[in-house]
Each structure stands twice: as C-alpha cells, then as structure tokens.
Structure 1
C-alpha cells in the first residue's frame, strides 16, 4: 500500500485536520515537463528544481511540522488532565470504601448509604476506556505523521536532488513530537484500571522484579511487535493485567524500566552460542544482569539451562545476587563462593537451604567460566514493561522495547571492556549514538514474551489467545536476544545463523482481519480523494515493503501488490475466523498447496556445492570424481522425483472468499511462498525437535519393510518349488516376486540409513515417504498380474 492511501485509510476523525498534508507536499515537488509527453518519451525530463522552489517547500513543511507538533502537545496536556481527574474520582471511591465497616456500616456503626455502587464503577470504566482510546489514537497519530515526514523528505531528496534530510532532522529535534513516551501514563492508567476492575480491592503482594525468585519454570512464547503497534499492545494488556511496578511508593522514572545483560561465551569457539542455537540437551547461557542505571550495585549472575522434553525435566533459569565490586574477582577465581555467601549465612535472613543452592550455583558458574575461558561478548539493553498480578506468576507478560545489542569483546585489536567485566563508555543512553556502527545492533521490533504457569490441560485466558492470534503480533518461537546479538555483531566469526534471520528484511505488519484492539466507535473516516495518477513512483524504495509479509500477486490486473504474512501457532490451534466463517489470511496460507514439500529455509547441512566441487577439482583424483558423481546422481534423482510428482494426481483447492476489508487492501490472487537461502558462506539452522521415540519409529518402519520383503521372497520360493511343473512362466513369476523383494529390501536399508543419519545430525529433511510405498505397490501389482497370467495359462483359460 502506498503511504498516501495508508494515510487516508487510517485517519482518525478528531485529528483529520492535523495530519501532514502529504499529497499537497508531493504536488509542490512536481515541476512541468521540459517538453510535452509523446509516445516515444511518455515521461520526459522535468524542469530543474530552483532555490525558490526549495524555499517554498521548506516553508510549507515547516508549517506542517508546527501543526502536528502543536496538536500533539495540546493532546498530551488534555490526556494528562483527564487522567488526573479520573484518578481523583477513583481515590474518592477508594476512600469511601475504606471508611466502611465490616457489614456495610461506617466507623460510627451507622448504615453506610454513601457506599460506591456498581453504576459508579461502570461509569469509571467508561471514562478509563475513553482515556485509553485517546492514548492509543494519539500514538497512532504521532507514528503516522512521523512516517509521513520521513517519506516526504526521502521523496524530496530523490526527486529534486537537493539534500534536505540532515537539515530537517535538526528541525525534528527542535520539535520532537514523536519522542514523547507514554509509559508514565500507562503506569497510571494501569493502577486505575486495576482498582476499578477489582471494584476497589486490587490484589496485593510482592511486586519485586523477581527479587524472591531463585529458580523458576515457565512456559514462554515470544513474539515480535512492530513499533506502530507497541502502544496499542500495552494498552490492551493493561486492561487485563496491571503493570508490575518495582516500587509503588515512588514516581515512575524512565530508568526504572531499563534492563541490561552481559552475555558470556568463548570468543574463539562460541560454544554457548552454538549450544543455545541448536538447543542441545544441557545447553547453557551465562549472563550478568542489572536493573536500572549503571550505578546499581546489585548484579544478578544467571544461568539458563535447556532441557529436552524427553528427559522429563523443564528448562530452568537460576540466579544469585552479588555486589558489583566483587564481580571481577569472582570471574577471575580470586573470590570464592564461600566468601560471597559468608555474610548471608551470618545474617540468617535467608533459609540455609536457599543459600546452599545459590552457593552451589556460584561454584558451577565460576568453574565453567574458568575452565572454558568464557569472556563477555555481547550486551543487551532494553526497556521492559511487565504485566503481572502481584504475587501471582500464573500469567506474566513482558514487552521489551528499544532492544539494542552491543559488543563487549576485545577482539579485532580493539579494547572495549578491557580487563573489566563490562565496558564503561556507555550506560542506558539509548540509542548509543556514540558507538561505531560495527559495535551496535538496534533491533527494529519490540519483543513480547507471554509466560504462563498453567496446569496440565488448562487453557490460557481468552484475551491472551485473542492477542497472540491478532494482527498486532508476529510469533517467533525460541527467539533469543543472545543468539541474535551474537549472530549480527560477529558476522565474520559466526557461520550458523538462526532461522529468523531471513525474516529481518520482511515487514511484519499485517492487515487487521478481525475487530480486535483498542477501538472507538466511528473513529475511522474514509476519504474519497484518489491518489495522483501521474505519480508513478512508489512511496517506498524497491527494497521496502508495506504492510504484511507474504507476497500476494493480483494476476488479473498484472500488478503486484506486496502483502506478507508469516504463519505461527501458539498452544496448538489458536487461529480465529472473522464473522461469516470466512478464512483469514493465515488460514488461507495454510490452505494453499505447497509447490515444494521441503522446508522454506535451506537446512544448515546444505553446502555450497559449486564451491566444494571447485575445491575438489583443484585437488583432482578420486575426491573430485566422487563429488562430481554424487552431484549428477542427485540431479538425476531430482529429475525422477519431479517426473513422479508431475504424474501424481493433486487436488484442486476451491476459491476462498475474502471480506470487504481484505478486498479493499487488494488481498487477492495466489499466495506465493518464498524460499530463503543463507548468505554465501553461512548456514541457516532450522530447529528440529528429536525425541528418543523417533529413532524407534524409524527402526520399526525398517523392520516392517524387512518383514514385507520376507513375505515376498516366501511367495517366490513357493511358486518356484511347490508348483505342479516348472515352466518359463513359473520362473518369470517367481523371479518377479524375488526382484520386488530384493528391491524392497535394498530400498528399506537405504532409507533407514538416510533417516538415521538425519535424525542424529538433526537435519531438516522430508521424513515422510511419498514415493517408496507407491512404487512398491505398483511393482507388487505387476508381479501379481504375471502370476495370474501364469495360472490362467497353465489351466488352459488363455
């Protein structure tokens, strides 16, 4: 979708006269043609852009910036005052509740006629809902205008040749309408929602950010959230779960949400990275974490351990706290764990069992660091908004924004952290503009983590299922900040990449296929103004994509409309259908027949064959000829498979209807699946889940084939040795059964060895067999027909 169309379709009625005049600014950039268009030159050269034209454009875009900035500031003040007014009303109701006696009587024993009624709470809910919608609308207004300014400046620089981007960036810094953070308002609204939702009896408990949690187990699923949807996702969660505040008696500050972690690994082998990426049994991640600013003296030493499901254990995170001044001595082995916990044992504030567990953990981590040469390699920084009922960890949702990864190593001849356990030239000053580009990786999306502690068979709350199935999030199972940071910051040392790396260049925004989110009645207005037909240039660069992530082609008009959609599941089948039982886009993708039965990503065992053969050619001899023979054998096998697939009957899918919104977004035509390849010299690791029963399943399949081969050989022997008399036809029938038995036996051995090797090495291959059984049945049919012909001829019927 072009930005002009997106701007008109996303206009909020209250702000309709305050959006950037995008079309008018585009008109200002247009100059008359030097010569009239002709058939030979339909788009001749335009007149040169002059200084007068530039002054006129700058004056107009300054007016638009003033208009947007003024509206944003006024609305921020209005929302702040509305929150204050609602807070006074809520405090008044809480005060009336506190003054009540045990059975509806006041402190003097009289009947309490002034007790809050249900109607008052419902009116407060309506007020809070309006304020919440206002915050959401303002965030969308700001984000849309900021995108509009960025695109119009890019278009100006491209069309006119006059570079305005650096100058206008200074103007934006002077009027930063897009930099206001709504976290403080969300924290206040969350507290008010919690009071009103619980009718004045909010859940109380320890709200510390994991302060009392040493070892805990959760079921965690991760999602990406586009910056356009971050505020809306926060507001949706806030209506159901309160924001987890570290210190409720303290005014919220930006640094309260900052979390920084230092990840360790062997900088030569990257053992921990590879183990966490491949999810091998017992794979560990070691990190040091602190909350808030750099002056925080409490540092948490943590270790994550991955456990396979077949072990019967769950992956666990364990940690202990220590003073920052002792970190270097501890990591160097000069400070033993016994000395760290000596004071804790004397104080007696913690149970002895807990101290023993933490001391054992400290010994194990120190031993691993010293033995394996682990050093700080990567830092992750983000601002976290956590949602959870105090003292209730059954449902915990966190949203990490401004995620940034920074190098901490001393490789490549540069000293970053030196002998210290962390570098001191940065703090929590996002976006860390003082660092060189090769030292920092700014992640483009927010990370939503849904952590559940549900009993067996228990469903997550319905609102959680609706959120994770909506267009606002993009599921990325097993996403890891450590893995992503290491893979991007060390491109010359890391060759095995996580599966989500090819998705980084894909816009994860999706069209809303159902009514979900923070909505206001009749808040959308549609404009009948059409886009300029003469402006043939797309608002996006060729490399940019608009909303969505699965390419959809409209073949009826010959135009390509980029739409993309990534399919993910959570807790099984959580797909939702819009009214009318029409399939949404994700279900349509699932309904499409795959042209290629293999995975979308090339496996991490796929080598660059041409490079391997070229290297073997230089060596010469048998290694070269053997690799060349394997290549031609593989190509011949692929041609045979292609021919078999061509003659195999396939069902024709029926047309799936789409709703009006999808039709308006041009979501029609055939959905294509793109196959990704890793960059040259790299491999993409696709996670494969392997359980012990998989080995036994492959073995049982082989034994079944072996049993079938024995039956066929028995039939052949019976035909040959126990017939009435031998003849050419009897030999032919027995031979056909024997040939089928031998072929089945050889085929089963090859398939078993192939599958066993793939299972051991966790390769992503096609484990189902669509060719062997069909071929065997065909051969068996031919053998039976030959035997039938032999019998009929022997009895004189032929």
Structure 2
C-alpha cells in the first residue's frame, strides 16, 4: 500500500487538519515533470513547506497536546486529593491536635458522602479513559507524521536530489523538532497509578501503596539498558569497564589451548519476515504479543558452529517469552520448508539419556511452535546483522553483564525482488558471503545491499535491584547516548527495505547526527530528566499515601565525564532504587559463555526515574550553604523548581515512614561533642573567674577582660546545648542536612583572639604610660634638688 493511502486510512478524525499535507508536498515535487523544469524556486518552496511549515505545524501541535494531556492528568490527581490516603491521614492527625481550629479556619477537607464519592470516582475514571486514548493517538500521530516527513524527503532525493540531498538537513531539523519519541512513559505511570487507585476505591479494597522502587518480578530477572557509543569514545568506555569487569573470552576450546591473543567473536544473526514486513511493523508499533524470529551463530559458517533458532514474543509489561534450539546448517532449509522436524535430535535426546521427559517435550514444543510460526506468517530470511562483540563479565558470576558491539554491518538477505534477488530463493542464506568468508566491511557486497551502522552499541544488564555506582556514572556521562528499545533488526529494515515499509522507529533521525556530547550538556540534560522524574514520582506516590520524595537533587556526573572535575564540592555515590524497572526475561541457566543469549530483540528496557545522592559540603559551603565555587552549582541555584498544577511539596519522604533505627554510636558521638563544648565552657568560665578575682578593684582592664571571657563561656554553653538538640532532631528525622556547623567555633576563636589582642594592647599601653610617669617623677625630683641647693 502506498504511503498516501496509509496516511489517509490512519488519520484520527478530531485532528485531521493537524496532519502533514502529504498531497501538497507531492504536488510541489512535480513528480510527472522532467528534471529540467525543476528550478531553484521550486526547491525553495518545497524545502520551506516541508521543513518550516509542515514540520513546525506538527511539532507545535504535538507539544501543545502533550502539555494538555499532562494538565488534564494533574487535574485528575487534584480531584482525587480528598480521597488520597496520605492527605486524609494528615488531616486526621491535625484534627486530633486541634479539631475545632481546623474546622474554623477551613484548612481541613470535608469528607465526601458515599454517593458523591462514587460519582467523583466514575467521573475521574471516564476522564482517564479519554486521556489514555488520546495518549495512544498522540503516539500514533507522531509516528505517522514522522514517517511522512521521511517519505517525502526520500521522494525528493530520488526525483530531485541530483544536486542537493535533503535527507541530512531534515534529519537535523527533526532532531531539533522531534515528532516521535519515547517520552510518554512517565505520564503512563501516573495514569496507571490513578487507574489502580480509582478501581480499588470503587471496589472497596484497601489501597496498596504503589512503589516504583520495587520490582514486580522475581530477583532473577535482568534490568537492561542500551546505549550508542561514538567511535571516538570507544576506548574510554572500554577502559572504564575494564577497571571493574574482565573481558569474557569466547572460545570453544579448553583453557589450556586458548590463546590470550584471541580476538573478540563475530556474531551473525539472520532475521525473518514476510514480504509485507508484518513482524517489523508490529515491533515498531509495539503491538502486544509481537514476535521475532532469527538464526544466530558465532564465527564463520564454514567452521560449522552451533546455529541457534530463536523466537521471542513480547508480552504485557515488556516481559518476553523465548523459545530456542540448536540446528545444523544442512537442516535449516528443510526445516523452513517443513520437511524436517528435528527427528534426529529428538532421537538422540531419548536414546542417550541425560534428559528428562520434560526437557524433551519442551524441545518438541519449541520445534513445532517455530515451524508453525514460519508457515502461518510466510516467513523468509530478509536481513543479516554482523558485528563484533566484546563481552565483560566476571566468570561464573552473571549478576552483571556488559556487551559492546562494534563494526555493526546490516546486509540484505531477502529474495523479494525476483529479478535481482540478494539471496537464492531456494537457500536460507547468502552463499556469496559465507562461502567467501567475507568480513566487515563486506566490500564485495553491491551498493544498496549493506548499511554500516555508525556507532557502537552498548548493553548493560544487571540482575536484581542492586545499584552500582560506577555503572550509574557511566550511564549518566557524556560518553554514551541512551537508545531505549534499539533493535538491529528494526534499524536494518528501516534503512535497507525503506520502500517496503510505512513506519519507522523513533531513533532513525538521530542515527546520522553527531551523538558526541559536551560534558556540560550531558550534565544539564541529566538534571532535567531527574527533575521531571521527581515530579511524576511524587504525583504517583501521593495518591497512595506513600509520600514519595522528589528524586531531584543537585549532583555532578561521574568521574567518567564530570564537567566540574575535581573542583566541585558535590559527590555522587550509588543511586538509590529506580522506580518501576522493566524486567527482561533471560534464559541464562546452564548456558556456556559462547551460548549466551544475545538480547538484541529484547524490547524490554529499563525506564529510569533517577534519584541523586546527598550533597557533601565542606569548608565555605558548610558555613554558607548557598555559596559554591562551582559554576554548575550557581547555575542550578538560579533555576527554581516549579511544581506542576496539582502537585505539592511532600513534606515527608518514603524512607521516613518506618520507625527510627539509628546506631548507638551516632547518639554517643553527638553526646561526646556536647560534653566537649561544655568542657570548653567550664575552662573559659574558670579562667574569667580567676582573672576577675586576681585583678583587684584598681585593675579595670583585667576586670573588663574577665567579663569578655565570661560572655564567651556563656555563648559556648548555649551553642553546645543548642547544637546538641539540633543534631538530635536531625538524627530523629533522618534528615539529609549537614551536621557540621562552623559558626560557633569561629565565634569562640574570634572572641578569644580579640580578648588576647585587647589584653596585649592594654598591657602595652600601660607600660608606655608607666615609663612616662617615671620620667616625670625623676624630672620633678631633679628640679626639687636643684631648688634646695639654691636655698642653701
């Protein structure tokens, strides 16, 4: 089906005037005219219409609609506030203290009657249905218009692109004005929380707190993160990983034969689809139960490696279900045609033993399901992905797996064009590549049949919910670019089979752009993500009485790419739990290193809400909390956090909900500090009292200094007690504020120093005055003696 018909078929009628005018763009291209009739004015009109008018129209409408949906979501949360557990608990606590005053000043919220309560819940539920529908339509709207832009650009380059290719310019424009992104997940979490709250309220069930910090799956699952790495940053990324994890050696030989100079393995995957590319379309559109099928092996096919037949089905919640088995290359074509059903493998499993009945039945089921899947969908090989993989993992410890795929080449493997097929229609793979043992960059392949992916692909998989500081630092640094849901299969089809498909992945326009990023820009984007995540996290937690703390706090990115380097007074320890990670199903039991499951088709990616560490302040930042020598800190201070409508300051953090458990040494340390201050106060008081008594009535200077020392002693006594009570409160409240305060010690030291200086000054002046009096007395005595002599 041509894209124009596809666009008209999928238009959402309430927004029909907001879509790209694809027919007008086709008219401006003058498809039926010759190249000679195409002038520079025509080129200017087309580019202006596409890049400025149509693209800007879609971008503005998408942003406006997205903001309206967020506002409507916040309004629903506002309506549910009187029913929220956290607010009602706060009101009940306030009523216990001052019941009458709360009723008089109107601060308490009146309880709703059962009828009004049910009506409010149904009204909110209806509004949530409407919002959810429009969120879904907005995602389709962005994807459809994004495809229209790329289709119009390709048509231009094909018809009028001899002197000027428009695709790079449009890619840059789309990167600046994104139409199709994956930024709706936080809004969906908020909607999901409200759905749960409303349904529990209507059914009369107790509200269970919905925590994004806990996984809803078992601890054996993997959290997966995918990134692109610029080739200039490859070495730095590798060295960062190598400091913590060793390289996993893929070698079928024994450790005695394996050489230390062995190269990283080359992995080849052949993906299946039909001429309509229905598997690709379902995967891009994220259709429930979307499936993918591929063959995968390590090294060259001429070396007779184990070939894995793998089928993966995406389930609700981004979990996955996988079936796979090994097959020899000589049986692959027969299996695809349905002439071979793996009878020999089943016989070997039954005759040799070592396999229980359950394993054999699972093997048979996997064979039958995959074979039926091929037949029902008329599948054939359409794409080959070849890449070099460097894997990092501690041998025998699968809690953390990191893979770095470089030299990624995507090659057409189809026979769709019968006049010029890329592969023999009666064979399952390209003989020209495998028989000749071609390697990257596959120079023998014809132009248009291969695509070299410009970046490396980094995948980080961590088992369970444990967080690792260095991994968090790497993921937040400027060295990598997040690429959620990236798939080699989708990328290859979108680039090599562009004429056969009418939808494209959201990341396609970013592939050809420069992904290198300055550390400062990476830092700013990280802070914006944390701020946005904090707002959504609190909005969800407030419904269930879980007073979620805003996740946003100022921090500096890791040593891997810190913009502030060593000058900043902030540090970044391991990040606390991320809300609602999506767990990836993994078949990691009993697999050898070279049989590790390649998770390219894992659509499940961890959607992250980031929380940041406490600040570590020293020096001037302790005395003056608002002062920082870092330009990034000053920039953060200028940015004031503005909460969205319906969101309010939580007041109490989730971590503060349970009972206070503090180690005894914390209390004793506070007491020791208090006793030290009292000791200083007693010493100063004894000094001032002794000085005052020894001075006598005639020595005014000593008496004055004694009074000054007394005032310092009194200040020391009050300061010590005040800080003891202040720190005692911080400990009870589990506050993240700093415990050290430099004001008191500075006052005591300054007071003593001033008193000593005054004492020295007064004493020195007294000595000078004493010398003058002695000279006067001596002069008077001399003149008196002379007068006596004259009288004689």
TM-score range, shorter-chain basis?
0.3 to 0.5
The structure that is helix-richer by fraction is 2
User: Could you say which structure has the greater relative contact order, defined with CA pairs below 8 angstroms and 6 or more residues apart?
Assistant: 2
